[in-house]
Structure 1
Amino acid sequence: MTAITIAEQNENIFKGTLSQLLAVFAGTLVAVSDGMHYGWTAPVLPILLKPDSPIKINKYEGEWLETSVMVGAFVGLWITMYFVDRLGRKKSILLATFVAALVWVAIGLQLRVEYIFVARAFAGAAGNMAFVATPMYIAEIAEHKIRGFLSSLIYLMMLCGIILVYTVVPLTPFYVHCVIGVCLTCTQLIIFPFMPESPYYLIYKGESERAGNNLEWFRSKKVDISKELENIKDAVARQKTEKGNLKDLFTVPSNRKGFLIMTAMNFAQHFAGISVLLMNLHIILEAAGSIYLQPNSAAVLFSIMMVSSACTASICIDKYGRKTLLILSCILTAVCLLVIAVYFNLKNCGFDTIQISWIPTVCVMLYACCFKIGLGMVPIVLTAELFSTKMKAYGMTLADGCYIVASLLSILIYQRLTDSLGMEYPFYLFSIICLLTAVFTHLYIPETKGKTLEEIQMILKGKL
C-alpha cells in the first residue's frame, strides 16, 4: 500500500512544511560555497595566468588547480564514511561548513599557490562530506510529499554558487568572492546549529524521546506524529537486523541494486558531458566559431539556464515522478549533444558553417535546460532514497566516489578523443550514452515518488 493518496496529490504539498524548508535552507548554504569551488577555475585561471596576476602560476599549476578539488574529494571519501554515522548528519554538515569557511580564508589571503592547492583539496573533501550528509539529513526529515523538492534544493544552491563565481570574479577584486564564501559559510554556522538532528539517526542511536521531539518540530502542530514515529522505529529496527558491513553493499541484492542504480546515474551525469561543458565552455564555443555570444556572457547565461531548469525540476519532481523526468531529460539531452556533434563534423569536413555558427550556442543553452530537468537533479534525490539506514553511509559515500571518478574520466576521454580524432567524437559518445541511460531508467529504476523510505526498501527487495 502506497503512502500517498489522491487527496494528498490535490492538496498544497507545501502546507505545514515551513520548519522543513527552514532546516533545509539553513543546511544547504554550504552547497553555494561548493558550487563556487566547482566553477572557480573557469573565471579565475585567466586572471591568475595574466602578467599582473595576484599569484604567479604557470599552465601546469593551473591544471592542478582544476583537479585538486577532485583529488581532495576522493581522499575525503573515507573520512565522510566514518563521520556521517559516528558524528551524525547534523554535526557532519557543520564540520564540512567549518572547513569550507577556512578554505575561503586561505584562498583570500593569496599567500602562495601551494597553499591554494591544499585549500582546494580540503574544499573537495568538505564538499564531499556535505553532499553525502546533507541529502541524508533532508531525506530523513522530509515528508514524502515534498521529499523530492527538498532533496533537489542542494543542487539548486550549488548552481547558484556557480553563477555567483562566474559573475563576481571577472568584475571585482580577487578577494571579493572569498569574502562572499566566508559570509555564506559563517551564516550557516550561526543558523544551522539551532536545527534539530534527523529523527531517523536518533532512533538508530537509541534516543527515541529526542527523536519524537525533533519529528514534532519538523511537522505541523496539527499533525499527529505518533504513527509516523512508530513507522520509523519499525523501519530502523528491521534495518538494524540486516547486515551492515561494506561488503554487504555488494552481496545483499537490494543494496547491490541501489548501488548499481546510483553508479549508473553518477556515470551518466558526467558522460552526458556536464563537467566537460562547465570546464571547457569557452574553448568549445571558440572552436565552433560562434560570433554571436562572448565566452564570459555565454558562461553566465549557461549557468542561469541551468538554475531556471533546476527550479522547474524541483517543483515537478514530486508531481510527475523521478522516472518521467529522467527519461525525458536523457532523450532531449542526447538530441542537443547529437546536433553539436554533427555541427563539428560538418565544420571539420570543410563545410562553411559561419552562417549557422549560432547552432552550437543555442544547443549548449538548450542542453543546460534539458540536462538539469532530470539528469542533473534526479540522481541527488535518488541517492538519499535508495539505501537503508544502516547502509546509507557506505552507499552514498561510495556513490559519491563514483561521481568523482566519472567526472575525471569524462574530462580525460573528452581531451583524448578531441586531440586524436576531433571535437565531434566525444559529443557523439555522450549522445549515445544519454540514450542508453534512458533505456536503463525505463527498465531498471523504480519510481520512488510518494513512497516512504521503508516502502522503497521493500520495492528494491521485490516485496512491493
Structure 2
Amino acid sequence: MPNLSFLSFFKGTFPQFVAAISGTLFAISDGMTYAWTAPYVPYLLSEKSHIKTTHKEGDWLETTLLIGSFCGIPITIYLVHFVGRKKALLIASSVVLLSWLTMALGNRIEYIFAARFFLGICCNMAIVAAPMYTAEIAEQKIRGLLSGIIYINMHIGCLAVYCVGPYLPFYAAPVIGATVVVLELLIFSTVPESPHFLLYKNKVDEARIALEYLRPNGDVDKELKEICDYIERQKSDKGRIQDLFLIKSSRKATFILAVLNTGQHLCAYTVMLMNLHLILEAAGTIYMDSAVAAILFAAIMLLATIFGSFQSDMFGRRALLIFSSLLTCLCLLALAIYFNLKALGYNVLPVSWVPIVSSMIYAGVFKAGMGIVPIMITGEMFPVKLKSIGVTVADAMYVIGGIVALQIYQILSQKYGLHVPFYFFAAWAFFVLTFTIFYIPETKGKTLDEIQQILNGEKVVEEHSQCDTKI
C-alpha cells in the first residue's frame, strides 16, 4: 500500500511540478553549454576537427560564455521585471534554439564564438528568471524541492554532454540541446505566469486564473489576498539598486547571496568541472580513465542534486549548507595535501587513489548543499520590488566568482603548483561554513513575507493588513 501521508503531502501539487519542470527544461541546455568545452575543445584542437582552431581560440571559447552571461545582466533585469518571468524564459529559449542550430551547422570558429556568446546571455536568464518563477508559483512545503529542479536539469545536461562528447559526432550535442529547448517552448507556453508578477502589474483576474491552475485543491481567495497584501506592502516605493544596501533586509540578502554565489566557484566548482581530466592526469592516478571519471563525476553530482532537492524541505537549507561546506573543505584539503606531497618529491603512487576518491566525494557533498542551496534561496530572499535587481546582482556575483576562481587556479597552479589553489579553495569552504553558522537564517517553511521579517530582525507575525485591490 502506498504511504498515504506521502501522497497527501503532494496532493494538488502536480500543476506546480509541470510549471516548474517545463520552465527549467532549458537548464539541461544550460548544463550542456557549461560543460561543453571539456570534451569538445580537445576535438577542435585535434587533426580530426572539421573547424580549424588554435589553442588561444580554444581557451577563449570558455571565457566567451562568461562574457555573454555578464553582458546579459541588463537584458535580464529588463525582461524579468517589465515583461515577466515566463515570457523572459520563452524569449531566452528561442535564442538558445537558434544558438544550438548555429553550432550544429556552422563551419567556422566565428560561428561557434557567436553561439557561445548568446548562449551565455541566455544562461544568465535561466539562473535569474527560473528561480524567481519557481519560488513564486510553489507552495511553501515544496518550494525547496521545486527550486532544486533547475540544478537537477543542469546536471542532466552536464552528464549528457560528457557522455556524447567523446563518442558521437560534433553535431550530436547541439541536436540534443535544440530538442530540449523545443520541448520547453511547446510545454511551458501552456502554463500561467507567476501570480506574484501578475498582481504586481495589477492583473488580478489573470492572477486568479493562474492560482486556480496552480492550486486545484487550494483556497485561492485566501492565498490571492495574502499575495496581494504582500505585494501592496512592497509597492510603497519603486525599487532602486541602492535599496539593496539601504534597506536592512535587502542588504543582508545581498551579502548572503554574494558570499554563497561567489563561494560556489571559490570552493572549486568551476575548476573541478572544467579541469577534472587535467587534475587527475596531473595526480598520476592509474585507476580510472579521465573520460570515464568525468561521466562518473557528473552522475554523482546529478544524484546529489536530486538528494539535496528532496532533503531541503525536510532538514532545511541551513543544515545542508553546514554539512556540505564542512565535507567540501575536507575533500579539497585532501587534494591539496596530496599535490603538496607530490610536489615535495614523495612517492604518492601507492595512494594515487586519493584524488579520485576525493573528487567523487566532493561531487556528492558539494552538490547536496553548497551547489544547490544558493539557487533555492535566491528567489526567496528579496521583496518583489527589488527581486529582479537583487537576483540579477546575485547572478552577477556568480559569474564574477567563476571568472575569479578560474584565474586563481590558472595563476597559482602555474606559478606555485596545484596544491596552492586547492589550499585556497579549502580555506574558502571553511569560511562559508563559519559564515553559514553565524549569519544565514533558515528559510524552510517560511512564506516570502516571513522571510523579509526574519531578514529585518523582526519577530515573525501572521497578521495581514487589508488589501485595496478587489479580489
Q: Which of the five TM-score ranges fits, normalised by the shorter chain?
A: over 0.9
Q: How does 1:193-212 map to 2 (within 5 A)?
A: 193-212=189-208
Report the counterpart of residue 63 of structure 1 in structure 2: 59
User: Does residue 345 of structure 1 match 2:340?
Assistant: yes
Report the counterpart of residue 432 of structure 1 in structure 2: 427
Residue identity opposite 2:344 in structure 1: C
Q: How does 1:125-164 map to 2 (within 5 A)?
A: 125-164=121-160
Q: 1:99 aligns with which of 86, 95, 105?
A: 95
Q: C-alpha displacement at 1:10, in angstroms?
A: 8.0
CA distance in 1, matches of 2:237, 2:452: 12
CA distance in 1, matches of 2:262, 2:383: 22
Report the counterpart of residue 279 of structure 2 in structure 1: 284
CA distance in 2, matches of 1:277, 1:134: 25
| 1:50-85 deviation line (CA, Å, top 9, x unaligned) | 112011101000011111000000000011011101
Q: How does 1:5-16 map to 2 (within 5 A)?
A: 12-16=8-12
3-state SS of paired residue (1:111): coil
CA distance in 2, matches of 1:252, 1:448: 19
3-state SS of paired residue (1:350): coil
CA distance in 2, matches of 1:403, 1:309: 21
Q: 2:356 aligns with which of 340, 358, 361?
A: 361
Report the counterpart of residue 259 of structure 2 in structure 1: 264
Instruction: List structure 1 runs of 4+ shifted beyond 4 angstroms.
Output: 9-12
3-state SS of paired residue (1:426): helix
Tell whether the 8 Å contact from 2:64 to 2:113 is kept in structure 1 after alignment: yes
Report the counterpart of residue 230 of structure 1 in structure 2: 225
3-state SS of paired residue (1:145): helix
Q: C-alpha displacement at 1:177, in angstroms?
A: 1.2
Report how many residues are paired: 456
3-state SS of paired residue (1:26): helix
Q: C-alpha displacement at 1:11, in angstroms?
A: 7.5
Report the counterpart of residue 20 of structure 2 in structure 1: 24
Q: 2:81 aligns with which of 82, 85, 90?
A: 85
| 1:254-301 deviation line (CA, Å, top 9, x unaligned) | 111111100000111001100001111011001100000000000000
Tell whether the 8 Å contact from 2:25 to 2:184 is kept in structure 1 after alignment: yes
Report the counterpart of residue 403 of structure 2 in structure 1: 408
Residue identity opposite 2:311 in structure 1: C
Q: 2:173 aligns with which of 174, 177, 184?
A: 177
Q: C-alpha displacement at 1:242, in angstroms?
A: 4.0
Tell whether the 8 Å contact from 1:28 to 1:154 is kept in structure 2 after alignment: yes
CA distance in 1, matches of 2:446, 2:46: 54
CA distance in 2, matches of 1:457, 1:300: 41
User: Does residue 422 of structure 1 match 2:417?
Assistant: yes
3-state SS of paired residue (1:390): helix
Q: C-alpha displacement at 1:227, in angstroms?
A: 1.2
CA distance in 2, matches of 1:91, 1:319: 32
User: Does residue 386 of structure 1 match 2:381?
Assistant: yes
Report the counterpart of residue 37 of structure 1 in structure 2: 33
Q: C-alpha displacement at 1:243, in angstroms?
A: 4.3
Q: How does 1:267-346 map to 2 (within 5 A)?
A: 267-346=262-341
Tell whether the 8 Å contact from 1:13 to 1:146 is kept in structure 2 after alignment: no
Residue identity opposite 1:18 in structure 2: F
| 1:386-434 deviation line (CA, Å, top 9, x unaligned) | 0111101100011101100000000100111111111111111111111
Report the counterpart of residue 5 of structure 1 in structure 2: none
Greater alpha carbon shift after TM alignment, 412-421 vs 34-43: 412-421
Q: C-alpha displacement at 1:110, in angstroms?
A: 2.5
Q: TM-score, normalised by structure 1?
A: 0.97
Aligned-residue sequence identity (percent) comes to 47
Q: C-alpha displacement at 1:13, in angstroms?
A: 3.2
Residue identity opposite 1:186 in structure 2: V
CA distance in 2, matches of 1:359, 1:27: 39
Tell whether the 8 Å contact from 1:266 to 1:379 is kept in structure 2 after alignment: yes
Tell whether the 8 Å contact from 1:39 to 1:162 is kept in structure 2 after alignment: yes
Q: 1:187 aligns with which of 175, 179, 183?
A: 183
Report the counterpart of residue 372 of structure 1 in structure 2: 367
3-state SS of paired residue (1:250): helix
CA distance in 1, matches of 2:140, 2:346: 54
3-state SS of paired residue (1:292): coil
Tell whether the 8 Å contact from 2:50 to 2:107 is kept in structure 1 after alignment: no
Greater alpha carbon shift after TM alignment, 45-54 vs 313-322: 45-54
Report the counterpart of residue 254 of structure 1 in structure 2: 249
Structure 2 vs 1, CA of residues 215 and 129 (structure 1 numbering), >3 Å: closer, same or farther? same
Q: C-alpha displacement at 1:353, in angstroms?
A: 0.7
User: Does residue 168 of structure 1 match 2:176?
Assistant: no
Q: C-alpha displacement at 1:86, in angstroms?
A: 1.1
Tell whether the 8 Å contact from 1:388 to 1:457 is kept in structure 2 after alignment: yes
3-state SS of paired residue (2:430): helix
3-state SS of paired residue (1:78): helix
| 1:16-35 deviation line (CA, Å, top 9, x unaligned) | 10000011111111100010
Q: C-alpha displacement at 1:15, in angstroms?
A: 2.1
Tell whether the 8 Å contact from 1:54 to 1:110 is kept in structure 2 after alignment: no
Q: 1:112 aligns with which of 108, 115, 138?
A: 108
Residue identity opposite 2:430 in structure 1: L
CA distance in 2, matches of 1:110, 1:174: 11
CA distance in 1, matches of 2:237, 2:12: 34
Q: Which runs of 5+ in 2 are unaligned?
A: 460-471
CA distance in 2, matches of 1:13, 1:422: 52
Q: C-alpha displacement at 1:14, in angstroms?
A: 1.9
Residue identity opposite 2:178 in structure 1: V
Q: C-alpha displacement at 1:231, in angstroms?
A: 0.6
Residue identity opposite 2:167 in structure 1: L
Report the counterpart of residue 3 of structure 1 in structure 2: none
